[in-house]
Amino acid sequence: MIDLKFLRENPEIVKQNIKNKFQEHKLPLVDEVIELDAQSRKAKQEADALRANRNVVSKQIGVLMGQGKKEEALILKEQVQKDAKRLTDLEASEKELQEKVSKIMMTIPNIIDPSVPIGKDDSCNVEIEKYGDPIVPDFEIPYHTEIMEKFNGIDLDAAGKVAGNGFYYLMGDIARLHSAVISYARDFMIARGFTYCVPPFMIRSNVVAGVMSFEEMDAMMYKIEGEDLYLIGTSEHSMIGKFIDTIHEEKKLPYTLTSYSPCFRKEKGAHGIEERGVYRIHQFEKQEMIVVCKPEESKVWYDKLWQNTVDLFRSLDIPVRTLECCSGDLADLKVKSCDVEAWSPRQKKYFEIGSCSNLGDAQARRLKIRVKGEDGSKYFAHTLNNTVAAPPRMLIAFLENNLNEDGSVNIPAALQPYMGGKARIEA
């Protein structure tokens, strides 16, 4: 959510930003919120004047009563009563107008960074850099579920009977590999100075509204029936929510946290054939990283975060590349974002395995996460998040890039301690 004062003073910049995100249907909202805000401020100004006048008149009534001038005092009392009714009406109007303004402001997209390429959708995302040499072996790479099945490592049929489509059972070495990747990702981030955290896996609606747009919430979140609770789609939600309605000493920033959690997603809509198997599912596990920092430091942390993911994947012999997300591919709260994609030898192309985002002060403004400067001033923090590793999608990249022709899978040295010292697993 952007600053209302900024919108009021820079409506054309806000409108151009909306155009850059190809959301022209939201253009009328800028003028609408300016008009509603003007009405709200006018109502507040009149209400403040009535309150001030009430204090003055109340003193006058006391003086008149003390002088025995009851009739004059009664006249002033009648005026106070009329003003009280008007004040009640103004307060109700002001509250209603402020709620309307707030609701609209929640739908107006954040101002994107000037470096973000302008484009309508993810087809306009721009490759930044490749890391590692993409290799296509001489032998055919099976589909990822076929690889797992050779290890008796997955059962989709049983999961379908138990929970429906979009769920799975992982077993044996594949399940162990899944857990090893998560544990390795955890320790990798701890070694880089991040504090490990296991957060709540459910959050209240006010936190949901603080961390994402309404469109994202509808497409992703599962609600617990009869309770004000939602299952998290990623631990970033509850990790940022940890700081709701707080003020932090400037000298204590930044907060750098890495978290483990299961994730639950509706995954609304139809998806392509490459998203069958365990590519796009309703439940998975994830290691995440988040940063809460001073505004002037968020760009530096943004680069550090995506580099962490690149370094992690390269340590496991997986070639990756980074993509700059274009304006139309950015969620409304994001200032800047890049995807990290892993190489798929089977598909002979890269596919997304994580996303790094700088949200500026949008989440902090919604959740009231403030910083107290050394001079006593208060301002909103900046928040960032990035995927460390999200099996089983990461397993797809790992299995394809470490598969041998005989069906065995090499275990990189970095992961071997988490696999009981095994250098490979046999089909």
Per DSSP, the three-state class of 390 is coil
pLDDT at 275: 60
Range with the lowest mean pLDDT among 220-224, 299-303, 318-322?
220-224
- What domains are there in the chain, each with its CATH number? 4-105 (1.10.287.40), 122-425 (3.30.930.10)
CA distance 401 to 405: 12
Burial call 393-426: b when 16+ CB within 10 Å, e when fewer: bbbbbbbbbbbeeeebbbbbeebbebbeebeebe
First to last CA, the chain: 51
* Segment 327-364, tens digit of pLDDT: 999 999 999 999 999 999 999 999 999 999 999 999 99
| Angle (CA) 167 170 171, round 5° | 155
Q: How many CB atoms lie within 10 A of CB 274?
A: 16
CA distance 88 to 81: 11
pLDDT at 272: 47
pLDDT at 386: 97
pLDDT at 312 exceeding the cut of 70: yes
Residue type, 44: K
CA distance 101 to 6: 14
Average pLDDT, the chain: 92
Provide the pLDDT confidence category of residue 81 given band limits of 50, 70 and 90: confident
Per DSSP, the three-state class of 195 is strand
* Segment 262-300, tens digit of pLDDT: 999 987 654 544 567 888 889 999 999 999 999 999 999
* Segment 104-121, tens digit of pLDDT: 999 999 999 999 999 999
Residue 270, token pair as written in the block: 């139809």
pLDDT at 269: 55
* Segment 122-171, tens digit of pLDDT: 999 999 999 999 999 999 999 999 999 999 999 999 999 999 888 999 99
DSSP string, 258-310: EEEEEEE----S---GGGTTTTS-SEEEEEEEEEEE-GGGHHHHHHHHHHHHH
* Segment 167-211, tens digit of pLDDT: 999 999 999 999 999 999 999 999 999 999 999 999 999 999 999
Q: Pairing relation of β-strands 255-264 and 195-197?
A: parallel
Q: Pairing relation of β-strands 246-249 and 369-372?
A: parallel
| Angle (CA) 133 304 336, round 5° | 95
Residue type, 6: F
CA distance 397 to 242: 32
Q: Would the pTM count as exceeding 0.75?
A: yes
